[in-house]
Structures are given as structure tokens and as C-alpha cells.
Amino acid sequence: MELTRRHALAGAAAIAVSPMLPAAPVRAGAPLADKQAPSYYRYRVGDAQVTAISDGVNTFALPETFVLNAKKDEVNAALEKAFLPKDKVSIHFAPLVINTGGKLVVVDTGNGPGAFASSKGNVGQFASNMAAAGIDPKAVDMVVISHFHGDHINGLLTADNVLAFPHAEVLVPAAEWKYFMDDGEMSRQATDRMKGVFANARRVFDAGLKKKVTPYEAGKDVAPGLQAVASLGHTPGHSSFILSSGSDKVFIQSDVTNHPAVFVANPGWHLMFDQDPAMAEATRRKVYDMLVADRMRVQGFHYPFPANGFVEKDGNGYRLVPAPWSPVI
Amino acid sequence: MELTRRHALAGAAAIAVSPMLPAAPVRAGAPLADKQAPSYYRYRVGDAQVTAISDGVNTFALPETFVLNAKKDEVNAALEKAFLPKDKVSIHFAPLVINTGGKLVVVDTGNGPGAFASSKGNVGQFASNMAAAGIDPKAVDMVVISHFHGDHINGLLTADNVLAFPHAEVLVPAAEWKYFMDDGEMSRQATDRMKGVFANARRVFDAGLKKKVTPYEAGKDVAPGLQAVASLGHTPGHSSFILSSGSDKVFIQSDVTNHPAVFVANPGWHLMFDQDPAMAEATRRKVYDMLVADRMRVQGFHYPFPANGFVEKDGNGYRLVPAPWSPVI
């Protein structure tokens, strides 16, 4: 028996095509969707709940010096090994909202409303994706900042330059605050990029927040169950976090690595945005050896959404094994 | 300088805490969310658009015979290597909606409304996640079925046992139709499981759809740009698909493997649901060698949502490298 659609439609062979089947109405082709799904994802850590919320993705031509100590060809090879297009790089951003059970805590805030406008929505999606997740910025109790780069702090302010989380205490690493608010440190910056980082930090924290911040020290809980961990090098006060509840925990690495296909695979490579590249590498190796030894879940600000998984050794580097998406909590 | 939160709150050191800061209203702790994000995800293949839509996840105690030719300890070791809990297995389901530009095509339909009710929403989510994606079942032009297992066909019917896609032509593999509608084949089944597969196929296609189906042959286009590819073994008429548009393509594998952590890593392992395990293994190796050689994107019905990525060789098996989620289309 060889059944073809032609046979079937003609009512041939064993297939009945009922003449009573109502005629489908004439329709134009369904339009292609123009928006991605709202990019938020929830998981539990003991009694706490983490919501990873994408701030979007920034795709740009691969800079010659994206990795300070590797050739562009080597970086392209790492991208191709990970089935990514070469000669460009896509940087992802994933702030968090943690519900500790008692407190609603934002960890880092994304590129902010200005970037949303200038990128035509490619980045600066934190606010809209948080709204899609049903989380009210007015209900946020605390905002914890890992470090003072713009993609982490610019979302602290609305387009009108007022606090995006109006009832939240804003917590910042003490060492980061000391460094970036120091006029002497600012005066010694030689590059336009670093001058810009200082200027932007002061725009947000001084002009915007009027210095109403609470510095925190590494080793202390900054919120219930959320411990700050010094992970210096990317910036002078860069902080990671361990969220613990019962026997469950996750390591929130912040920027210990940038894109995993490049820097988890090659921990010795130095990102152009690491302020002290050697210290950043030492931190990276220490953190990733710990993640491997403890088989601890890790959440990465620059991992592709939903930006969490586990780490295994792979040759001289490591491999991120993304955690499977669960369609139930 | 050593800044602590106590110092800052007391207005000590360089940190100003403005007395004008409005007092936060007394709030109860924000409630934990009880629902995951709607689990759908869109990507382009040339001019076509694929929406992967989760039907949910079914978690159950690991059967002794989940893999026919491996010990439970070996399966547990594969789960642990992938950072998954042992002694249980979570099976994911990801039907598709493909917009070819002219036609809206559903590929497989999930566990259906009965399973949604009995699982308390863990599976049978296809209809609700499709609604979240803004896709109207009445706008679907075609439903293409890969094979006749219940998790692929039960979503063809609503809870009232009428066609869930009322204007759609339903396309089924000719070999699958011939086999499962053959009374002689049915009479020769020895196991309760296989008797159940036959009974369910007839419930859906005979009692439900009144045999109003269009059989299709492998090697032919079943919809614009969507070619059926015979991938026999899991069932006698099991079909995969290649969606092509311009130079872009994706291999829609259906059930060439079940969970990638178990069967992509160990292609020689035989799933208890593979009807002809040796043929299924031969198909699996042929398909995965092709995916590796061509570096072709693959979409897998039982991969964790959004259920697509690329395949690389890993020792004697393969590794699925999930494609990074893009928060823009």
C-alpha cells in the first residue's frame, strides 16, 4: 500500500476523507511574531525563589582586543567550537530577583532605560521582563549591586532619573564605593573607557541616588541567606554571592567570567573589561575549581538566559552545563 | 576605611543617608510565585519561524528497565554526570508551531488535556503555552504527527474529544498509519503497553478524528519547506523532519533520542519505549553522525525546553550543546 496525500485527499485506499468536514475559512497566512517570549525563569533554592530576568543581548563586531592575551583567530575558534557565529560576539545580561521568603531582593539592574531606547529594545529589557514576571518594582526591599559597570547599575534609575525601586535600600560593595567615589583615583585614569566608568558611576550614585546607599563587606549576609563573597579583579570591589536555604545553595558569580563559550572554556584569557586581568584570572580559577569540587549550581550575569548551570572540568578549562529548564517550579 | 551597614545607616563615614528618604510602607513579604514563566521560545530558520512550546515535564522513579541494555547504576551514573538527580528521570516534551510564511504548522501535540488534569498541570501544557504565545488553534493549517505514541498525538483532541485544531489537515506517517490501523498487527501484540498504544491510537484517530487524516511518505515535503525523513525503529513509521528556508535549516528529530543526558551521551543504549531497539540505535547513530558532520541545528521533542542545539562527538557518544537563548528574535 502506498498512500500519498493525493490518494488520501481523493478518498483512496483506507483513508476516509469525510465530505462533512467543514471548509476552512480563507485566511491570510498567519503573521510572523515580532517579539520573543518574555525572558524570565524561576527556580527554588530551598525556601527561597530565584527569578532570572533577561536584560537582553548586545551583539557587536568582535573587537581585536576582546581578549587581551589571545588572537582574534583563537577567539573565533572558541566561538565556532561553541556553534556560535564568528567575527561577532553576543553579550547576554541576566539580573536576578530573589524572594528570600521575607524580602524581595534585586541583584544587579541591567543596562537601563537609556540603553533600551538606543538599542531599540535589544538591551534594557529588565524592567519589561520583570513586569511580565508580575514583579512590582515598588515591592522590592533591597537592590544589591555586584560592581559599578554600567550594565549592572544603570537600571537603578528610570528614564526620569529617579530610583527605579523607590522603596528599596541600595547595597553596594564597600571597596567598590571607596574606589569609584575617590576623586584621586578618578584623576589618575588614563583611558576614555575608565574615565567613562567613573563618570557613569557618579551619574548614577551621586546625581541620581544622592549617595543614599549602604556599603556592604564581603563575608557578610547582605540579605537573609545571601552572603557577599569578594571576587576581585574584574573591578576593585567586584562581589559574588552565595544564596543558601537549608542544604540548597547557588553561587551567583556576577562577572567572574563573561561569555562562557569564551572564558569558562579558557579561564586564562583576559577580557578587555577586566580592570586587573591577572587578579581576575586568579579569582576565576579559584571560583571555578570550587564550583567543580562542590558541584554547586552557578548563576552567571553574562551567561545566556536563564543563565544557570553546573561546571565541569574540560581539558585545561571548564565547561558550563546549562541546567535543564523546568516548565514547572 | 571600613564601612559597615551599621555605619552607613547611622550616617557615618562618607555615606549620606538622607533624612528626606520616604519611609517604605510596611509590607508583608512578597509571596513566592506559584507558576513558571510561560514556556515558549521563537527562532528563525531563514524566512520561517519556529516556536518551541513546552508541553511540560513528567518526573517518575527510574524504572529498572528504563534502558534495556544498561544497569540502573549505569543510568544513574549518566544522570549524575549531567548534574541531574539519580533514581528518577524527568521526561520533557516540546511540540512545535512552525510558521512557514504561508502556513501555520503544528508538529506533534503533546500529552493532551486528560494528562493535564491527571498530572495537575505538570504535562499537557501545550494548549496553555500556545495560548501564552498568542497562537490561535483555529489558525493552524496543518498538524504533522511524527509517530503514534500518546505524548505526540493526545493533544489532537480537546477534553470534549473534538479536534483541538478545527481547521487543520492532520498528516500522519503512512507506514505508522498502516501498522497501527492493521487489526492483524494489533491482535499479535503480547504486552499490555503495546496493546495500550494500539488502543490509544484508535481512540484518537478512529473514535476522535473519524480517520480524517492525510498519510505522508518520507522524502516528501509535508508542508512548505518541511521535508519528512524516515527515522525508523522507535516505531515502525517514526518520522523526523528537515525544515529548510534559504540556506538555513534545522533537523527536527522527534524521538530519535529520548533524554539527551542518557541517550545522546550513550547512543548504544536502548530505551524501553523503542519498539525495535536495534533499528532505533542504527537510526540514532546515522542521524547523529550526520548532525555532527553538517553542524546542523537539531530540535528534539524530548530535549529540555527550548529543546534545540547542536551536536558534537564526545568519546564513544555525543554531546548536545544547547543553543543560547536569544531574548530578541
Residues of B in contact with A37 (CB under 8 A): 37-42, 132-133
Mean pLDDT of A130-156: 98
Question: Cis ω on the peptide bond leading into residue A306 (within 30° of 0)?
Answer: yes
Phi, psi dihedral angles at A186 (to 5 degrees):
-60, -40
Q: In this complex, is the C-beta atom of B99 within 8 Å of any C-beta atom belonging to chain A?
A: yes
Q: In this complex, is the C-beta atom of B129 within 8 Å of any C-beta atom belonging to chain A?
A: yes
For A187-200, the pLDDT digits (tens) are 999 999 999 999 99
Q: Average pLDDT, whole number, for chain B?
A: 92
ipTM of predicted assembly, 2 dp:
0.91
Across the interface, of A37, A122, A214, the residue whose CB is closest to B41 is: A37
Residue with cell 511574531: A33
Q: Is residue A64 part of a domain?
A: yes
Q: Report the alpha-carbon distance of residue B309 to residue B329 in Å, rounded.
A: 16
Q: Report the alpha-carbon distance of residue A240 to residue A170 in Å, rounded.
A: 16
pLDDT at B14 over 90: no
Q: Is residue A30 part of a domain?
A: no
Q: Report the alpha-carbon distance of residue B49 to residue A285 in Å, rounded.
A: 40
pLDDT at B18 over 60: no
For B296-306, the pLDDT digits (tens) are 999 999 999 99
Query: Which one has a higher pLDDT value, A7 or B36?
Result: B36
CA angle A314, A65, A241 (to 5 degrees): 55
Q: What percent of chain B has pLDDT over 70?
A: 91
Q: Average pLDDT, whole number, for chain A?
A: 92
Instruction: Please tell me the total count of domains within chain A.
Output: 1
Q: Is residue B258 part of a domain?
A: yes
The answer for B245, left when phi > 0, alpha when psi is -120 to 50, beta otherwise, is beta
Residues of A in contact with B325 (CB under 8 A): 39, 54, 304-306
Cα Rg, chain B, nearest whole Å: 24
Specify the pTM. Answer: 0.91
pLDDT of residue A14: 34
Which residues are within 8 A (CB) of A32 and not within 5 positions of it... i.e. 6 or more apart?
B49, B99, B101
Q: Report the alpha-carbon distance of residue B175 to residue B179 in Å, rounded.
A: 6
Cross-chain Cβ contact B51/A42 below 8 Å: no
Q: Report the alpha-carbon distance of residue B174 to residue B166 in Å, rounded.
A: 22
Residues of B in contact with A54 (CB under 8 A): 325, 327
pLDDT of residue B30: 84
For A215-236, the pLDDT digits (tens) are 999 999 999 999 999 999 999 9
Residues of A in contact with B103 (CB under 8 A): 29
Q: Which helix (H) or strand (E) holds B31?
A: none
Q: Residue A253 belongs to a domain with what CATH number?
A: 3.60.15.10
For residue B28, what is the nearest residue in chain A, using CA coordinates? A102
Cross-chain Cβ contact B174/A2 below 8 Å: yes
Could you list the residue range(s) of the whole structural domain that residue A84 is in? 39-322
pLDDT of residue B12: 33
Residue with cell 549576609: A221
Q: Copy the grid coordinates of residue A245.
A: 536555604
In total, the C-beta contacts within 8 angstroms joining chain A to chain B are 222
Q: Which of B84, B106, B311, B328 to mutate to test the interface with A (most CBs of A within 10 A)?
A: B328
Contact A198, A204 (CB under 8 A): no
Q: Report the alpha-carbon distance of residue B242 to residue B46 in Å, rounded.
A: 13
Query: Which one has a higher pLDDT value, A6 or B88?
Result: B88
pLDDT at B62 over 80: yes
Across the interface, of B32, B215, B326, the residue whose CB is closest to A15 is: B215
Phi, psi dihedral angles at A299 (to 5 degrees):
-115, 130
Q: In this complex, is the C-beta atom of A83 within 8 Å of any C-beta atom belonging to chain B?
A: yes
The answer to whether the Cα torsion of A237, A238, A243, A249 is positive or negative is negative
Residues of A in contact with B56 (CB under 8 A): 327-328
pLDDT at B235 over 50: yes
Q: Report the alpha-carbon distance of residue A46 to residue A28 in Å, rounded.
A: 49
pLDDT of residue A28: 57
For B119-163, the pLDDT digits (tens) are 999 999 999 999 999 999 999 999 999 999 999 999 999 999 999
pLDDT of residue B27: 53
Q: Is residue B167 part of a domain?
A: yes
Q: Copy the grid coordinates of residue B264.
A: 545522546
Query: Which one has a higher pLDDT value, A319 or A12?
Result: A319
Q: Is residue A4 part of a domain?
A: no
Cross-chain Cβ contact B15/A177 below 8 Å: yes
Interface of B with A in 154-193 (CB under 8 A): 166-167, 171, 174, 177-178, 181
Cross-chain Cβ contact B141/A90 below 8 Å: no
Cross-chain Cβ contact B171/A327 below 8 Å: no
Q: Report the alpha-carbon distance of residue B129 to residue A101 in Å, rounded.
A: 28
pLDDT band at B29 (very low <50, low <70, confident <90, very high): confident
Query: Which one has a higher pLDDT value, A21 or A138?
Result: A138
Query: Which one has a higher pLDDT value, A288 or B11?
Result: A288
pLDDT band at B10 (very low <50, low <70, confident <90, very high): very low
Cα Rg, chain A, nearest whole Å: 23
pLDDT at A135 over 50: yes
Q: In this complex, is the C-beta atom of A82 within 8 Å of any C-beta atom belonging to chain B?
A: yes
Q: Is residue A243 part of a domain?
A: yes
Residues of B in contact with A15 (CB under 8 A): 177, 211, 213-215
pLDDT of residue A19: 40
Q: Is residue B231 part of a domain?
A: yes
Task: Indicate the SS3 state at residue B116.
Answer: helix
Mean pLDDT of A164-181: 98
Q: What percent of chain A has pLDDT over 70?
A: 91
Q: Report the alpha-carbon distance of residue A319 to residue A312 in Å, rounded.
A: 5
Q: Report the alpha-carbon distance of residue A206 to residue B42 in Å, rounded.
A: 41
pLDDT of residue A29: 76
Cross-chain Cβ contact B167/A25 below 8 Å: yes
Q: Is residue A2 part of a domain?
A: no
Cross-chain Cβ contact B32/A99 below 8 Å: yes
The answer to whether the Cα torsion of B231, B233, B239, B242 is positive or negative is negative
Residues of A in contact with B97 (CB under 8 A): none
Q: Copy the grid coordinates of residue A235.
A: 573591578
Residue with cell 492532520: B170
Interface of B with A in 242-281 (CB under 8 A): none
Q: In this complex, is the C-beta atom of B216 within 8 Å of any C-beta atom belonging to chain A?
A: yes
Nearest chain A CA: its distance from B42 CA (Å): 6
Q: In this complex, is the C-beta atom of A85 within 8 Å of any C-beta atom belonging to chain B?
A: no
The answer for B222, left when phi > 0, alpha when psi is -120 to 50, beta otherwise, is alpha
For A3-61, the pLDDT digits (tens) are 333 333 333 333 333 444 444 444 557 889 999 999 999 999 999 999 999 999 999 99
**C-alpha closest to that of B231 among B276, B194, B171, B280:** B280
Across the interface, of B54, B104, B177, the residue whose CB is closest to A30 is: B104
